[in-house]
Structure 1
């Protein structure tokens, strides 16, 4: 059986593929839409994940790069793909309070009550960090305020635990 040497064609291709993948994550973090579009055109998989399980979409949406997020969704990035911590892009956006990106994700198939293995939904993250505007969007899109995580906690429980005054008041009035 022939083994690959350091200078073999396969090793060179693997190094080039890895360089393109690293570049795609750099572009996602920076919101470089044109370069990211080119990387997708040359074959970087739209749902590629880094060592923490974060997809390109997770990074662009979490960092508030709306146009880069739009590009990835147009290339069929999976808005439900969770990272290694079980978080969805919508949950990350709810934590950050980015209404525009939350709406974009929802418009492209993110499940309003989607959750990771721990059962935490985007509504729970919005409630926890007092992101009232995102909470209102999620409620308008049908989020279930009474839904419980694996520990039996609701969005209102999280708002109370974190002292999130605005979201606590809103949820208590439902």
Structure 2
């Protein structure tokens, strides 16, 4: 059964609003983003490439946003369309505090085609291989 009153697609204003939410995660606008999440925006909001707010925040080094998303129930192991997750981003960007946070909260370093272990090996990051090994 479908809801016949539901719109078939989003209008330009709604699309612009959703894009702005992803920008908050990229830019590190923690307070604004957390307010929107607390008002009902899903913690696992995903863009057309499969990037979640957590993946975007992790890639851009916004550890506080990642923590806030985790507190609000975001899926720590969600992958984008390339098979990358937040932990992969933390390793790729050489963000050890974030990698440790994600691992301590249950991020799976083996998950995905471009997983954290593979990225650490590919980019010759033995220090991150050692960090990951601590949590296996």
TM-score by length of 2: 0.84
**Long gaps (5+) in structure 1:** 5-9, 143-174
Higher relative contact order (CA 8 A, sep 6+): 2
What does 1:7-156 align with in structure 2 at a 5 Å threshold? 17-114=14-111, 116=112, 118=113, 120-142=114-136
Compute the RMSD of aligned alpha carbons: 2.3
TM-score, normalised with respect to structure 1: 0.67
**Higher gyration radius (CA):** 1
Gaps of 5+ in 2: none
Q: What is the aligned residue count? A: 131
**1:53 and 1:82 in contact (8 A); partners too:** yes
Q: Distance in 1 between matches of 2:92 and 2:125?
A: 7
Distance 1:96 1:88 in 2: 12
Residues 112/60 of structure 1: CA separation in 2 closer, same or farther (3 Å cut): same
